[in-house]
Homo-oligomer: A and B are copies of this chain.
């Protein structure tokens, strides 16, 4: 598997959130294929040197979001990809992040073009990892 979950120790984001985000993104971009098996809670916790509860919480959130399916005793598997949110719901979910970027960005003195450029650059980076 080319896909490796990584925890950034200096990050402000909580560890369980980092795991959730990485798996969700990988599943969306195709880095993780539908049906693929994730490492077990215990194995991942050991590899990342973190508390198993933290991994369990991440998997639980992923399962309730429909990204993975946990089959007790067998493991966790990537779900068949599907749009789970309607377009209005997706807009509702992205809006606060757009607002935060605008507020912080303009206050820091960035031009709108600099922000959109940064988005494109970062997106290219992320997509580049796609296998």
Most buried by B among A28, A84, A107, A123: A107
Identify the closest chain B residue to A100 (Cβ).
B97
Contact of A104 among B88, B93, B105, B109 (CB under 8 A): B93
User: What is the bound-complex CA distance between A33 and B73, given in angstroms?
Assistant: 33
A119 interfacial by beta-carbon distance below 8 Å: yes
Contact of A83 among B94, B102, B109, B119 (CB under 8 A): B109
A6 interfacial by beta-carbon distance below 8 Å: no
Q: Which residues of B contact A10 (CB under 8 A)?
A: 69, 71, 77
Query: What's the interface size class on A, roughly?
Result: 35 or more
**Nearest 7 pairs between A and B by C-beta?**
A116-B116, A84-B89, A24-B107, A112-B123, A97-B101, A90-B108, A21-B103
Q: Which residues of A are interface residues toward B (Cβ below 8 A)?
A: 10, 12-14, 21, 24-25, 27-29, 61, 64, 66-67, 69, 71-73, 77, 82-86, 88-90, 93-94, 96-110, 112, 115-116, 118-120, 122-123, 126
Chosen A-B contacts, 10 in total, with CB atoms closer than 8 Å, are A10-B77, A21-B100, A27-B107, A84-B86, A85-B86, A85-B108, A90-B109, A98-B101, A102-B119, A112-B119
